[in-house]
Amino acid sequence: MRRRKRKGLIVTIILTLIIVIGIGSIIHQRFEKTKVTTVRLGLVGTDSEPVWDNVRKRLKKQGINVEYVIFNDYVQPDVALKEGKIDMHSCLTRYYFESYNKQQNAHLTSIGNTVISPLGLYSHKYKKLSDLPDGATIAIPNEPTTLGRGLNVLQSAGLIKVKKGSGIKPSLKDIISNPKNLQFKEVDPATAARALNSVDASIINGNYAVAAKLNPKKDSIYLEPINKAAKPYVNIIAVQEKNKDNKVYKKVVAAYQTEQTKQAIEKTYKGAQEAAWPIYGRN
């Protein structure tokens, strides 16, 4: 009788253990399925949020939560990334990023191309380049990098020539040919669109053009060519160098560089920004 009771007790214990282990396994599996990894993403302003919202929604299904960290200037994202306060940022051109990285020995790196925002030449007075009169006044952003870029755009349009070897940051002093005797008015980049009322034409950044209800593809009299020369102005996703092979971060890049994102970019920016990876490669 005692043997039967012992045998029954042992069977009960074994069955109980099986049930407990089984329940534990189910709980563990469910926990694994619902486990979420948060990625802190640095952005400047909120202009890029509509596109990232599209990406974030898809990443959520993969257990990745993208948390925005918003900055109000283009210096702080690199600093925050260097100090580990964010995991990645997506707001700087390759040229600006690489300049900071080299100067500060920051050990940051790009892991993916995102968008490029072409500069445009706009005018309320004239509908095409050839209409610009001799002595026309052109408003141009006074920020050195954008000013140089603007001069290179005017050179590609055939309006001026700059000194050979002046690279991507020529100054007004580097203009060596100006057949139309164009006059230049330096303005803050944010006011370049408003300057259209007082000048013959204005070089305007894509985001400021859209904010002024200008369509870069339809309203510009000349738009910066998206070619090899424009590659330094491609925006990138950046991380600390030690994290360049992080699997989660690679999933973020992969989710961004999709046809869905490309369509979101076209819908949101209407030509002010274009998907860069189909043109310049994924990184």
- Give residue-wise pLDDT tens across range 152-206: 999 999 999 999 999 889 999 999 999 999 999 999 998 999 999 999 999 999 8
Instruction: Give the phi and the psi of residue 274 in degrees, each rounded to 5.
Output: -130, 150
Which residue, 118, 95, 93, 43, is CA-closest to 273?
A: 118
Burial environment of residue 41 by CB neighbours within 10 A (0 to 12, 13 to 18, 19 or more): buried
By CB atoms closer than 10 A (0-12, 13-18, 19+), residue 239 is buried
Say if residues 266 and 127 touch (Cβ distance below 8 Å): no
Looking at residue 218, its pLDDT comes to: 92
Decide if pLDDT at 232 tops 70. yes
Averaged confidence pLDDT in the chain: 90
- Give 110's pLDDT tier (boundaries 50, 70, 90): very high
Sole residue written with tokens 């009788």:
1
pTM of the model: 0.81
The band of 148, judged by pLDDT with boundaries at 50, 70 and 90, is very high
Instruction: State how far the Cα of 76 lies from the Cα of 145, in Å rounded to an integer.
Output: 18
**Domains of the chain listed by start with CATH number:** 36-117+231-280 (3.40.190.10), 120-225 (3.40.190.10)
